Structure 1
Amino acid sequence: MKENKITAEGIIGQAMGLEMSFSGAEFPVEIFPSKIQRIIHEVHECQSYPIDYTAASIFTAIAVGIGNTHHIQMKQGWVESAILFVALVGRPGANKSHPLSFAMKPFVDFDHRQNQEFGKLYAKYEQDVSLTKKERTSEGLEEFPQEPIRKRFLVSDITPEGLSYIHAQNWRGLCLCSDELSVWFKNFNRYNNGSEEQFWLSVFSAKAVISDRKNAKSSVFITRPFITVIGTIQRKILSDLAHGDRSNNGFIDRILFVMPTIEHKTRWNEKDASPDLESQWNELMNQLINLECSFDENNEVQPSIVTFSEEARRLLYKWQHQHAELCDSLGNETLLGIYCKLEIYIIRFCLVIQITRWLCGECSKEQVDTETVRRAILLTEYFKQTATRVQNLMNETALTTQQQSILSQLPELFTTAQGVEVATNQGMKERAFKEFLSKQIGTLFLKDRHGEYRKA
């Protein structure tokens, strides 16, 4: 498929994307092929699933399906995988869980079938082990029966040790999927102070995982882990994410936040989804689940390497140079940390988008083209905006009552003198207000020019 070629599918996709944007959705659904856009549109129309949550859940599910089967090479020695940490943020009743369940159902079905198969194999294994060596030989069985392995994609609340053990049996990769993401990070360091948080920081970068388990003959060693995380979280407990060192060690910077600006309580309607809607999604995901993987002599996955075309690389470099200039001008270190991580994420987005387009018959999967980079840029800009909004929300939650009052009283555009006047009326001294203003530039406030500001 030639790049930048106008097709009927492309026109239909853009039209659906425009229609969904009118519904208040901000997620750039045009990054998906029209086949997936139709699925997102139909579950929104018939099930009232918010588009942002559905689109982000589907994107994450595709990343999970890719796992360690494909990596993307930015340049020699720089390889990324499709690892994502995603948080669906919203108030109670915002309908966050159902879109996530819809997207992950193909993995739930796969894991269920595998669990049933594992139960049968394990019963047979126990039966064989109970026999004497002589009995096994006479019945033509293996002299030393091998304990069966349960294949799976999904895990929930689990310790790093347990997760490492399961991952060692499932080299392709895993997804920690939680309906309440707060359970994930609130349990950090419940057993070993500091170790669990460091575990997840390492997992994000796909660094080798070594776990020495009690009563085990050998330690678990995973050369390149793949564990994606997705879950829901309520707005009111977002500030819990900043507890401990998580606001300083870059942990929060690694999370992609999906937080629609417009939230409505779901309205029931009489529209029914087409009977084959779920089967269409299952068919796409089963293509990923059934992808053939090559293994080395140690039974470790040998991923296929996706590269960039020269044009695609130039476009990505152009974006990065502009993004670096923005980072250089930022006065807010919190946002700087987030923006820096997005430079890693955009490469991973390229991998997921290219595979998604291949899945729907739009292109090959061997090389990223300029259309994929263009779509990845759109997605990166979206997550840049949501990260800023989340930081603003967390900062507002952490403000004192006096600071919150000043923030509410300030006009959208104000000068330093006007701000000082508002602060004085609220009982805050001039020096304290200027320190407050300076610390919140880039989050709560934006500086237009010397002495002139606006609310972010």
Structure 2
Amino acid sequence: MEASKNYNMIDFPKLVSLYLEDKKDDYKNFPIDLFPPQVSNYMLELRDKVGCNPNYMAGAFLNAGSICIGRSKGLYLRNTWKEHAVFWAIIIGEPGSKKTPSTAPFFAPIKKIQSDLLKEWKEKLKAHSPDVSEEKPSEPTMYVGDATIEAYIQKHSQNLRGVAIIMDEISGLVANSGKYNKGSDIEKYLSAFSYADISSTRKGVGQSSSLFNPQLSIFGGIQPAILTGLMTDSLINNGFWDRFLFISGNFQTGKMTLEDVSTNVSNDYDSYIKGLYELVSETEFIKENGDLNVDYYKMNPEASRVWYDYNSKIEDMINDHSELSSNMKSAYSKLSTYFGRFVLLMHILDDVYKYPFQRLNDCEVTPQSVEKAIRLVKYFMFQYELISKDVSAEKEAKNILFESRGMTTKEKVLLLHSKAPEMSQRVLAKQLKISQSLVNKYLK
């Protein structure tokens, strides 16, 4: 029986034009030097003292920053093209790779802010009288851990600056989608990624809800084998996985030491996040039409040129004459979207939020922020290529192993190697649940 190759992520380009003179090895690990010292120092402290993974920590900070910024800040790329700080990030690692210990510290101040807001809200509820015409105060929500699309729309409608989804296991987002509407939750999320209005009607109940101008960031972790199983044709073809920023651990998880994390370094990060949230919140207001006012930043001419030149390189990769598959074109087109979002984030971290000064600067985007965003695009481009290759290799291995009934482990290793000689020994070992050294022994 010939192994079936019914998968969609096996064709990969050589991205010479986009990596330019860089070596791909430069992008195996997240460039945490892009972040302010209050952030990068905390990452280094946790890496050195707790063994936390810098790649995972950086992914968590991307989303923590996006939650603080919310929808009231945006970036003009063109008069018809605007972006906000919305990131869908997924960290990928085996059990024991310290995904949660690496990410929890970076969401801790966010959770503290939400806890404080809830306490204030409860006090306001106590003081609120149902007899007065004053509207009942809405429950403040910065993020949710799990929610149906109906519940999410309700939460977000009461919190116009945006509501993020933070989950330990991102697989739950897929599993919980469509509990009441046969899977159409995924389509709602896809629309929200592009800020399109979404609505939902719960079947059998008749309750309808709508959300205008959504600001939805998503963050979660997943094990490689589970990700492979969820890389179905439908979720690849509809572009669901293309919207995620993949972050691999790349064996950067270390060991805990006797020395504890510096309280000063930890407090610096907490103060940085709290200050960013508070200063952005102070500038927010609701317009007469009931919508949140948005302040849009613009690039100066030099920055605009740098952005245009690099974005043109991405467009060349995905135009009609490109040899890439439609799935790869879709993935790289989303990186063009993220390019603008990275520019906005870097601009706010570099020039708008001058910690510890208690003010936000109103200034144009500089070329330096665009150059930093380019480094992020390159990192995530490499990550997408890396993770997609692993997923494709694992799918190919499973297809080939359909032929292996009755074979010994050594015969299975030789079969996989003969059918897919480019498959790494790491993938071979993982599929057969044996050590990599044993695979190497059999192949000698």
State if a TM-score over 0.5 links the two structures: yes
1:377 to 364, 374, 377: 374
State yes or no: 1:62 paired with 2:55: no
How many Å separate the matches in 2 of 1:211 and 1:32?
A: 38
Greater length-normalized contact order (CA 8 Å, ≥ 6 residues apart): 2
How many Å separate the matches in 2 of 1:38 and 1:246?
A: 38
- Tell me, what secondary structure is at the counterpart of 2:371? helix
How many Å separate the matches in 2 of 1:52 and 1:249?
A: 27
Q: 1:423 deviation in Å?
A: 8.7
Indicate how the Cα distance of structure 1 residues 326 and 403 shifts in structure 2: closer, same or farther if over 3 A, else same: farther
How many Å separate the matches in 2 of 1:217 and 1:402?
A: 44
Which residue does 1:397 correspond to in 2? 394
Which residue does 1:169 correspond to in 2? 158
Which residue does 1:43 correspond to in 2? 46
Which letter maps to 1:335? M
Which letter maps to 2:288? E
Indicate how the Cα distance of structure 1 residues 216 and 301 shifts in structure 2: closer, same or farther if over 3 A, else same: farther
Which residue does 2:223 correspond to in 1? 234
Which residue does 2:439 correspond to in 1? none
Q: 1:364 deviation in Å?
A: 4.4
Indicate how the Cα distance of structure 1 residues 404 and 336 shifts in structure 2: closer, same or farther if over 3 A, else same: farther
Which residue does 1:278 correspond to in 2? 266
Indicate how the Cα distance of structure 1 residues 25 and 276 shifts in structure 2: closer, same or farther if over 3 A, else same: farther
Which residue does 1:186 correspond to in 2? 175
How many Å separate the matches in 1 of 2:323 and 2:247?
A: 23
How many Å separate the matches in 1 of 2:72 and 2:264?
A: 28
Contact 1:110 1:152 in 2 (8 A): no
Indicate how the Cα distance of structure 1 residues 382 and 106 shifts in structure 2: closer, same or farther if over 3 A, else same: same
Task: State which structure, 1 or 2, has the greater radius of gyration over its C-alpha atoms.
Answer: 1
Which letter maps to 1:269? T
Which residue does 1:297 correspond to in 2? 288
- Tell me, what secondary structure is at the counterpart of 1:227? coil
Q: 1:371 deviation in Å?
A: 0.4
1:388 to 380, 385, 388: 385
Which letter maps to 1:350? V
TM-score, structure 2 as length reference: 0.78
1:269 to 245, 257, 261: 257
Gaps of 5+ in 1: 1-20, 134-141, 407-421, 434-456
Which residue does 1:196 correspond to in 2? 185
Which residue does 1:350 correspond to in 2? 343
Indicate how the Cα distance of structure 1 residues 213 and 25 shifts in structure 2: closer, same or farther if over 3 A, else same: same
Q: Percent identity?
A: 23
Contact 2:401 2:416 in 1 (8 A): no
1:246 to 227, 235, 241: 235
Contact 1:181 1:233 in 2 (8 A): yes
Contact 1:42 1:273 in 2 (8 A): yes
User: Which segment drifts farther, 65-74 or 106-115?
Assistant: 106-115
Contact 2:167 2:219 in 1 (8 A): yes
Contact 1:86 1:230 in 2 (8 A): yes
How many Å separate the matches in 1 of 2:216 and 2:125?
A: 26
How many Å separate the matches in 1 of 2:88 and 2:230?
A: 13
Which letter maps to 2:270? N
Q: 1:400 deviation in Å?
A: 4.4
How many Å separate the matches in 2 of 1:388 and 1:249?
A: 19
1:324 to 294, 306, 315: 315
Q: 1:218 deviation in Å?
A: 9.7
Gaps of 5+ in 2: 1-24, 404-413, 421-444
Contact 1:211 1:219 in 2 (8 A): yes
- Tell me, what secondary structure is at the counterpart of 1:27? coil
Which letter maps to 1:157? D
Q: What is the root-mean-square deviation in Å for CA atoms of aligned residues? A: 3.1
How many Å separate the matches in 1 of 2:298 and 2:274?
A: 24
Which residue does 1:449 correspond to in 2? none
Contact 1:355 1:365 in 2 (8 A): no
Q: 1:250 deviation in Å?
A: 0.7
How many Å separate the matches in 2 of 1:68 and 1:324?
A: 27
- Tell me, what secondary structure is at the counterpart of 2:220? strand
Which letter maps to 1:70? K
How many Å separate the matches in 2 of 1:216 and 1:195?
A: 16
Instruction: Show CA shifts across 1:358-405 (max 9, x none).
Output: 324599453211001111000001000111111111112211456479
How many Å separate the matches in 1 of 2:251 and 2:66?
A: 27
Q: 1:55 deviation in Å?
A: 1.4
Q: 1:78 deviation in Å?
A: 1.2
How many Å separate the matches in 1 of 2:317 and 2:200?
A: 40
Which residue does 1:101 correspond to in 2? 104
Which residue does 2:5 correspond to in 1? none
Which residue does 2:327 correspond to in 1? 334
User: Which segment drifts farther, 302-311 or 55-64?
Assistant: 55-64
Q: 1:232 deviation in Å?
A: 0.8
- Tell me, what secondary structure is at the counterpart of 2:387? helix
Indicate how the Cα distance of structure 1 residues 325 and 403 shifts in structure 2: closer, same or farther if over 3 A, else same: farther
Q: 1:203 deviation in Å?
A: 0.6
Aligned residues: 379
